[in-house]
A and B are shown apart, each in its own frame.
Chain A
Amino acid sequence: MSVAKLQTVDSHADAIPSDLASLEDWFDKRLDEKLAERESARTPSLAIIATKGTMDMAYPPFILATTAAALGWDASIFFTFYGLELLKKDLQIKVSPLGNPAMPMKMPFGPEWLQRINMPIPNLVAGNFPGFESFATTMMEQTVKAKGVPSIQELRNICIESEVRLVACQMTVDLFNYSQDEFIPEIAEWIGATSYLVEAKNADICLFV
């Protein structure tokens, strides 16, 4: 379309420059304005794939999703494989220092100097001492509480309240012989990889945990 013709169809014809250089400047400016307008009208989105069912790996998806919702973003979490544990009605989330060498083992109570000391537990002990996992979990739960960090249950409730879309993997239910009624009714949908990928494609941030 020629510049002359543009002028005749646009109601703000006087605002459109007629020489090519000025027209390019005008166009760049308008494009920037339009893009900024679109950007400000758009709701950012977060899509998380949660594949782990231990306490240490349950925190990141729930913290990030609840925070995204607080920022007014659209957030969704796709729970698959062991991640599905996080949607059980009866949450039995544990943490183990076994094969988890970066996990600090610290006292949740006692004097400050004692709480700072890391007491790494050898795999031989963590793996063979009956009930060690439950002990480590109790210690972690107490630390979390003492530091004012919410529990997984609390974060999950906030997810539900703030309308984070919780979707679950249908294949995992079949794979591990679960039944759908073992899981919370707030699950928005039972879907597969294809459906979630299509959903995640349009997300601004997509994370695999």
Chain B
Amino acid sequence: MEANQTLDARGLNCPLPILRTKKSLNNLQSGETLKVVSTDPGSLKDMVSFCAQTGNALLSSQQTGGDFEFFIRKA
């Protein structure tokens, strides 16, 4: 999947992955996608809650090695 922008949140811990995601989404247009890569295991559930609350679509969430990858489409 190709994203309009990628956020490298590896090495960051709660609440930074979510805060940076929110900041990156601010720079995107509605309908554009953001890829987030994180290493914080808490971000797996946090990203689901974040998207549910903010109305952005969590297109996919997967674990590759020690990294978590999320694709989010801006509402």
Contacts and interface: CB of A to CB of B under 8 A. Distances in A.
A71 B16 contact: no
Given A71-B54, A72-B53, A148 B15 contact: no
Interface stretch (B6-14, B28-36, B66-74): B6-14
Nearest to B9: A148
Contacts of A72: 53-54
B19 A149 contact: no
Interface in A107-135: none
Given A148-B11, A148-B40, A70 B16 contact: no
Interface string B16-30: 101101100000000
Contact of B50 (A66, A71, A150, A158): A71
A13 to B, nearest CB: 35
Contacts of A162: 19, 22
A63 B18 CA distance: 11
Contacts of B16: 148-150
A97 B42 CA distance: 27
A147 interface: yes
Contacts, number: 34
Interface string A60-72: 0001001101111
B13 A158 contact: no
A182 to B, nearest CB: 28
Contacts of A158: 19
A30 B53 CA distance: 24
Contacts of A71: 50, 53-54
B54 A148 contact: no
A158 B18 CA distance: 12
A205 to B, nearest CB: 13
Nearest to A150: B16
Contacts of A69: 22
A72 B26 CA distance: 12
A149 B50 CA distance: 19
A10 B39 CA distance: 57
A147 B17 CA distance: 13
A149 B14 contact: yes
Interface of B: 11-16, 18-19, 21-22, 39-40, 50, 53-54
Given A67-B19, A149-B13, 15 more contacts: A63-B15, A66-B19, A67-B15, A70-B21, A70-B22, A71-B50, A71-B53, A71-B54, A72-B53, A147-B13, A148-B11, A148-B39, A149-B14, A162-B19, A162-B22
Closest 10 CB pairs of A and B: A70-B22, A148-B13, A148-B12, A71-B53, A149-B13, A67-B15, A148-B11, A63-B15, A70-B19, A70-B18
